[in-house]
Amino acid sequence: MVTVTIDGHEVQIAEGTNIVEAALKAGIEVPTYCYHPGLSVVGQCRICFVEIEDQPRLVTACSTPVAEGMSVLTASERVNEARAAVMEFLLENHPLDCPVCDQAGECYLQDYSFEHGLDTTHMVDERRTFPGFERRLIGPHVVQNQNRCIQCTRCIRFTEEISGTGDLTMKSRGNHSYIDTFNGEPYDNPWSACAADVCPVGALTVKEFRFRARVWHLEETPSVCPGCSIGCNVDLGHFKGVVYRFVPRHNAEINGWWMCDYGRFLAESLNARDIEQPARTGDQGAAEMSWSEAIDEITRLLSSDSEVQVVASPNLPNEALFLAKKVFADHLGVRVLTPVYRGENRRMKNGQRQWIANVDSHPNSTGARLIGLPIGDQDALTTMLGSSTGPLVVLDNHAHPWLQTEAAAEMLKGRPVIALGRTHTPLSRQASVLLPLASWAETDGTYTSSTGRVQLAQRGLFPKAGAKPASEALLLLAARLGLEIDPGLSPRALFEELAAEVPAFAGMTYRRLAGEPGVPALGLEEVAHVG
Amino acid sequence: MTLARTQPLQVALPTEVTEVRFDDAMEKRIRQILGRYPTQRAAVLPVLWMCQELWGWVSPGIMTAVAERLELAPAFVEGVVTFYTMYQTEPPGKYLLQVCTTLSCQLCGTSALVEHLEERLGIGFGQTTPDGRFTLLDVQCLGACGEGPVVQVNSDYYTELTIEKLDQLLDELP
Amino acid sequence: MEPILLRARDEANSRSISTYLRLGGYGALKKALIMDPSAIREEVKNAGLRGRGGAGFPAGVKWGFVPQDSPKPKYLICNADESEPGTFKDREIIHVDPHMLIEGIIIASYAISANTAYIYIRGEFVEEAEILERAIAEAYKKKYLGRNILTTGYDLDVFVHRGAGAYICGEETALIESIEGKRGLPRLKPPFPAVVGVFGCPTVVNNVETLACVPHIIERGAAWFASIGRPRNTGPKLFCVSGHVNRPGVYELPLGVTFREIIEEHCGGMRDGKALKAFIPGGSSAPVLPADKIDTAADFDAVAEAGSMLGSGGLIVMDETVDMVWALENLLTFYAHESCGQCTPCREGSDWALDIVRRIRRGHGRPADIETLQRISRYASQGMTICPLGDAFCGPIASFLNHFGHEFKAYINAAAPMPEKKLPVLPVRSGRGTFGL
């Protein structure tokens, strides 16, 4: 560790750290474009100039390591002059697109121009443009506007160093340099939209988000991706009850600064809702009922003589699964199975550039295991279902792909089915009791990733219509069934009960989970860590 | 006295270089090139030169073959090809008339030569005559400034040119 | 001065190894290979040989930066990229006496303990590359290259590596990137090539002319070399003269002769009896000097004092008919074309400056343009950029405005406002589909 002084503030930092990071530690932001903590250093945008006392020339902060006793000035007159000049050069050819550019509000060019640039321009000539490259869909998710590009090469370095796909390159040279793929082929890799994340301006933007919302309207709630077992950290961007996007949230252990396209574009599907109120289906179609009526009906069905079975879901948070065990396995003594679907192979690079692979396509199969719920594959599920004609509780009609098929509905015809869901499947249309399930974005919950980390996904929206999270529904049922449990427990309090009972979660609280990036579950070997 | 000493380029048609395979002779040359460097990537420029020598230009098919052979991303190879001005990414004419337009040659009268070429050939910089014979290119300093004006035709330098000598040269080229 | 570098100019068959041997060639090599490498470095240092590629950095000192105890292989690279406008001396050396260069390469490689040397030659020099390949083949045959050179146990391979059209690849780190098979983008320094160079190994990059001087230093001694020229500006220099003189070409003269002597005595004076207006002493990146500086001595220090740089020694001579605004536009066209595009000030500034000067010359200049040009020139140079290409176009802008600002002002005073820009008629679109898919 060395001690350096940044604008008079003393900072202790590891030797060899660059000045940008050292300044951040002192709470000072040095403007950067080409620098990204997850990518290699190129030092080419020239905006991060700082002055080191007793050195004649300004240096670029991103490419200069600190040394013991170094004294850095990030806002001296020379530095401000140089920065303003570089800003002017950057804005010289940059189009005045702010009113129509998605990046506005989270654009480095806007921000630093406001802070460090001149308030006028000396440029009166024509800006250089790239005809045909103003709104080019270069891949399934990324739109390019080459006129806005400041040639920082972050996107290229992302495809070379992180995704390893090498699909973006710089062509030509000088002021006519432009980003493109080989021979105009589509820019298509599993993490393609990350290039739009790293782009500091609106040169690369996400198609699905294009013109949908202004970022300063969006609330960003820290959450976790529900797409698979890796558990990448995300920010949920939402406004007035509508989910607009996921963007990756930094987590050094799991996903670095990245996320995959599949997970990212699940965001909008969280808005869909067919099932709004509790209902019973009959010959006359669905008849709505109140929650207390629904709970009464469920209680009645569960008191049947035939064997009751429960299908839990590895998509549900620890809180719901904990309750499911308590209510069904412990109290009622009935069979609970959590079906797990392996699904597609997905990979993510973390902050140390290690690959992490998924084990299945659910966010919480590991949670189910730790809580003590049996898990099984599709065969185990169909075998169990075939062994009884009694009432069936399905805690999530999308728990497993097979469960969503016509064949599943066919097999379960005639059985009283109690289903929770958000959008219909053939099975939910024939449910005896149908309960509206809150979406991922409407649920406070913790999830255990296959890398053994317990993470908190915060609720961003109030549940729509009559929807409730599964844990709330189960609390109502538990109270009705006579369990000694407060039906008004919040997810936070519920989790504390869980942490007290399940050894793997000992010592964890929501506060701790919100503060630390993924707390390791105890006694769990890390799985699925690919070198 | 005969002025012209340049042979026409052998230019492959685009259909001939959509997909490209290196035969044994080419593979031998590639291995020889690779022997000069400790990395495969360093062979990119010399191998691209070999390809341009064989086919007259560098097509996407050629870039793909080079990328595969040297275990590089094709996008990387295209980035290299487009950075350097001498790799042709479109089929050129049989003769590349590369006219130096930088200061020293201009001081010796390049603009008059350019005017004459544009008139005689009916094309401007960056264009090829309809019969596919001449491509006119403006290039930067060719490093023979004491003998200007200079035009490089394919690989050969022609120096101290006048309109008469230019006409003679264009007439004599086979 | 007796011809040294161009001594074989009038020889028939000057390029063949037999001619070179007859004139005493490869004698220095024999002498060098039984010296200790450090002694060779010392000799070259004492000779005061300054790099002839443009920077003028002492060669012996540069060689000394190579960490001798590093386990990595060392490399010597000969910079034959010669793309600086007005410079054509390396081509001359290769045409006249390629073996002199090769002998210099071998001795320099030995001096830094390198076993591989590359000659990076610009792509346009096709004939010159062939000349070098033939000479290298001759040298291998005579065992001056390859394994166990002259039975001293020293191994050296020399390979020719052709560029493909990029002036920036004359900058040593961009050259190294180009050899590594990448786009020729200059690297951040530090680390310097002597420590981390090509393939991550210690590398020395020297200009053709610099290396061609080396055999003579070893053959005849540092003191002899230092006796030519002036203190701290020693040795013979090849001056390339182009433009409005009667006899343009390459002239071998001691450092320190005046520009007047070069132009009037050696080059036969100005063409058509016109008066000298301006000259660029060291390749287009050197600031322009007005005619009244003609008595400046042509060496590194004196030219720097006069407000320019000797650079590569490429002297471009302009007479009274030259429109200096046109001349600057021509040079800026070159730099904008050659900018690699990495760093903001050069990438944007070179193109912007060109646009302004072009507009001035087309009769639409504005008074504020002079100040804008000066502003660009101030902020795309002196450490703002990764490599000196920024300084290379800013120097001309500043010097042209400084000495010939009145010509720019004359254009601006006679200027008319720019024609009205017709705004494009935007197509009417319905719905939100705006991708042009």
Residue A414 main-chain phi, psi, to 5 deg:
90, -20
Q: Is residue A527 part of a domain?
A: no
Helix pair B110-121, B163-172: axis angle to 10 deg: 40
Q: Is residue A232 part of a domain?
A: no
What is the per-residue pLDDT for C209?
Answer: 97
A206 and A278 part of one domain: no
Tell me if the pTM is above 0.90. yes
pLDDT value, residue A528 = 47
C403 in any annotated domain:
yes
**CA distances in angstroms from C272 to A215, C67, C245, C269, C292, listed in the order given:** 69, 55, 9, 9, 20
- Which structural domain range is residue C309 located in? 235-319
Question: What is the mean pLDDT of the segment spanning C391-413?
Answer: 97
What share of residues in chain B are helix, strand, coil (percent, to 5)?
45, 10, 45
- pLDDT, tens digit (0-9, with 9 covering 90-100), for B111-150: 999 999 999 999 999 999 999 999 999 999 999 999 989 9
pLDDT band at C436 (very low <50, low <70, confident <90, very high): very low
Q: Do A169 and B60 touch (CB under 8 A)?
A: no
Total domains in the fold of chain A? 3
Which CATH number goes with the domain that contains C197? 3.40.50.11540
Q: Cβ–Cβ of A135/C436 closer than 8 Å?
A: yes
Other C-beta atoms closer than 10 Å to the C-beta of A305 total 6
**Cβ-based neighbours of C170, under 8 Å, separated by 6 or more:** C53, C79, C81, C82, C83, C84, C122
Q: Which residues of B touch C281 (CB under 8 A)?
A: none
- Closest to A215 (Cα-Cα) out of A202, A203, A224: A202
Q: Rounded CA gap, C47 and C45, in Å?
A: 5
**Distances from the Cα of A263 to the Cαs of A25, A198, A228, A444, in angstroms?**
32, 17, 8, 19
**Distance spanning both ends of chain A, measured CA to CA:** 29
Q: Is residue C419 part of a domain?
A: no
By the 8 A CB rule, do B19 and B61 touch? yes
Give the CB-side neighbour count of residue A252, counting CA atoms within 13 A: 4
Q: In this predicted structure, what is the pLDDT of residue B48?
A: 98
Which of C125, C316, C337 is closest, CB to CB, to B143? C125
- Percent of chain C past pLDDT 90, that is, above it, reads 93
Q: In chain A, which residue's Cα lies nearest the Cα of C385? A: A46
Taking residues C237-254, what's their average pLDDT?
A: 96
Residue A529 has pLDDT above 50, yes or no: no
For chain B, domains (ranges, CATH) are 14-83 (1.10.10), 95-172 (3.40.30.10)
Q: What is the pLDDT of residue C435?
A: 44
Same domain for A425 and A499, yes or no, is: yes
Q: Could you give the count of Cα atoms lying within 13 Å of B36 in the half-sphere of its Cβ?
A: 22
Tell me, yes or no, whether C2 lies in a domain: no
**Shared domain check, A140 and A62:** no
Q: How far is A349 from chain B (nearest CA, A)?
A: 20
- Give the orientation angle of helix C37-47 with respect to helix C208-220, to 10 degrees: 100
| CB nearest C250 (choices: B38, B83, B146) | B146
B130 cis-preceded (ω within 30 degrees of 0): no
Same domain, A51 and A157: no
The token pair that represents A88 in the structure block: 């002017």
Residue C303 domain-assigned? yes
First to last CA, chain B: 16
Check: CB of residue A87 under 8 Å from CB of residue A113.
yes
Model confidence at C429, pLDDT cuts 50, 70, 90, reads: low
pLDDT band at A518, cuts 50/70/90?
A: confident
Let me know if residue C223 belongs to a domain. yes
The CA R_g of chain A, rounded to the nearest whole Å, is 27
For β-strands C74-80 and C203-207, DSSP reports them as parallel
C243 with C302, same domain: the answer is yes
Q: How far apart are CA C162 and CA C256, in angstroms?
A: 34
Instruction: Tell me the average pLDDT of chain C.
Output: 95
pLDDT band at residue C178 using 50, 70 and 90 as cut-offs: very high
Q: What is the CATH number of the domain that holds C343?
A: 1.20.1440.230
Given C208, C227, C246, the domain boundary residue is C227
* Burial class of residue B97, CB neighbours in 10 A (0-12, 13-18, 19+): buried
Residue A118's pLDDT band (cuts 50, 70, 90)? confident
Residue found by looking up tokens 């998710």 in the block = A141
Interface ipTM above 0.95: yes
Residues C61 and C103 in one domain: yes
Q: Give me the domain span that covers residue A432.
A: 274-520
CATH code of the domain containing A344: 3.40.50.740
How many domains does one find in chain C? 3
A393 backbone φψ class: left, alpha, beta (φ>0; ψ -120 to 50): beta
Check whether the bond before A426 is cis (ω within 30° of 0): no
Does any domain span residue A49? yes
Average pLDDT over residues A243-268: 95
Last residue of a domain, one of C301, C319, C337: C319
Q: Which residue has the higher pLDDT, C238 or A524?
A: C238
Do C206 and C329 lie in one domain? The reply is no
Same domain, A86 and A101: no
Residues with Cβ within 8 Å of residue C142, at least 6 apart in sequence: C17, C26
- Residue A517's pLDDT band, with cuts at 50, 70 and 90, is confident
Q: Where are the alpha helices (DSSP H) in B4-145?
A: 24-34, 44-55, 60-69, 74-83, 103-107, 110-121
Average pLDDT value for residue range A71-97: 95
Set of chain C residues whose Cβ sits within 8 Å of the Cβ of B45: 161-164, 178, 181
The answer to whether C113 and C37 have CB atoms below 8 angstroms apart is yes
Same domain membership, residue A202 and residue A87? no
Q: Give dist(CA B129, CA C364) in Å, integer.
A: 35
For residue A524, the model assigns a pLDDT of 63
- Which of the listed residues A181, A196, A211 is the one where a domain comes to its end? A211
Cβ atoms within 10 Å, residue C142 = 16
Express each pLDDT in A433-455 by its tens digit: 999 999 999 999 999 999 889 99
In terms of domains, do C191 and C270 share one? no
Q: Answer with the one of C276, C298, C319 that is the final residue of a domain.
A: C319
Asked whether residue C437 carries a pLDDT value surpassing 50, the answer given is no
Same domain? A374 vs A512:
yes
Q: Which of C77, C79, C87, C88 to mutate to test the interface with B (most CBs of B within 10 A)?
A: C88
Coil, helix or strand at residue C345: helix
Specify whether A34 is located in the same domain as A176. no
Of residues A160, A173, A183, nearest to B83 (C-beta) = A173
